[in-house]
Amino acid sequence: MSRSLIIAPQWIGDAVMTEPLLASLAARGEQLTVAALPWVAPVYRAMPQVTEVIDLPFAHGRLDWAGRRRVAAALRGRFDTAYVLPNSLKSALLPWLAGIPRRVGYHGEGRYLLLNRRLPNPAGRPPMVAFYSALAGEPPVAGERPTLRFDAATLTRATAAAGVAPGAYWAFAPGAEYGPAKCWPPEHYAELARVLHARDGQPVLLLGSGKEAALCAQIEAAADGACRVLAGQTSLIDAMALIAAARGVVSNDSGLMHVAAAFGVPQAAVFGSTSPEHTPPLNPRARVLWLKEELQLDCAPCFDRVCRFGHTRCLTGVSAGRVEQALDDALGGPQSVSLPT
């Protein structure tokens, strides 16, 4: 059996999008170990095809040459192939330092020496599943979607710790690491939470990282008792489990949106500066709200972190009522999804 090391991307959404690649590699008999930064590693623990996950001790944005050499020394002789999923120069250092014979990835940042099986950098912003899946060296599988799985014990532990029953609460993920141009306004989240809570009395859990705790507290304060802030109070594993067991999820285009999609949870996803043609929630139970055509927004998608015009009409124009309707439609069942090619 071939032993393969996967160098994981640094963002949660990107990590989810790599699952079809890993499924393809495992299906052809490769034994998979994933090396990932600590805030991404839990995503790979929800992929049954992964044999081992190594938490990398590197700080974001730092080369840490000495640290990479130490980790590489521990990996030497263990692997036949490495798949380097990020495009950065430093991400390709570890397999090279470890002397892994076959090192696969995109050309990226001029990685002639570090990789010996290089794909040309694609033009534009291709769909991310296809981008990663191409590294398997096989034709893409039409309609493939990321899938994550947790056992019942993981879901039970997370919901019990949060004081909720599976399927008897809503989950909102109102943040986005990328920036405010991806974030539906907090007052809209609060309005939707009030409506959903008034309908059935079920709580709304506000999930995210510690960086999003203040945003979630703002939503909670305006939601008249409908919400509970869990942002920054759970591990990523528990946040993922709470999403997997939720009645429905509402989010921006974010890593947790892709987590919800991979668990097949009914969801409504609001897009602003980014594009569902590039990073859609690949889930037949997802409903996307994007106002590019409706408002004739020539600026969309701008992929800006902060709206260059200061109005974020692409987000403020999405009412709470429309998201409620989209969520109700998602709860009604699957529909066919037109997947990017």
pLDDT given for residue 194 in this prediction: 97
pLDDT given for residue 340 in this prediction: 38
pLDDT given for residue 307 in this prediction: 75
Question: What does the block give as tokens for 101?
Answer: 């014979």
Residue 210: enclosing H or E segment and its boundaries?
Answer: none
CB atoms within 10 A of CB 117: 14
What pTM does this model have? 0.92
Residue corresponding to tokens 């066919």: 336
With the C-alpha atoms ordered 253, 257, 259, 262, is the resulting torsion angle positive or negative?
A: negative
- Order across the sheet with 50-55: list the strands: 50-55, 31-36, 3-7, 81-84, 102-106, 117-119
pLDDT given for residue 255 in this prediction: 94
Helix (H, G, I), strand (E, B) or coil at 298: coil
* CA max distance for the chain: 60
Q: How far apart are CA 22 and CA 16, in angstroms?
A: 10
Residue 227: enclosing H or E segment and its boundaries?
Answer: strand 227-229
Q: How far apart are CA 268 and CA 285, in angstroms?
A: 9
Q: How far apart are CA 271 and CA 269, in angstroms?
A: 6
Which residues make beta-bridge pairs with 173?
251
Q: Mean pLDDT in each 10-residue stretch from start to end of the chain (341 residues)?
A: 94 96 96 96 96 89 84 96 95 96 94 94 88 89 89 96 97 84 92 96 96 95 97 96 98 95 97 86 95 76 79 86 96 56 31
pLDDT given for residue 301 in this prediction: 83
Q: How far apart are CA 279 and CA 261, in angstroms?
A: 11
DSSP secondary structure letters along 8-75: --SSHHHHHHTHHHHHHHHHTT-EEEEEE-TTTHHHHTT-TTEEEEEE--PPTT---HHHHHHHHHHH
pLDDT given for residue 35 in this prediction: 97
C-beta separation of 266 from 246 below 8 A = no
Closest CA to 81 of 137, 130, 17: 137
With the C-alpha atoms ordered 183, 38, 147, 172, is the resulting torsion angle positive or negative?
A: negative
pLDDT given for residue 22 in this prediction: 97
Q: Which domains does the chain have, with CATH numbers?
A: 3-136 (3.40.50.2000), 152-331 (3.40.50.2000)
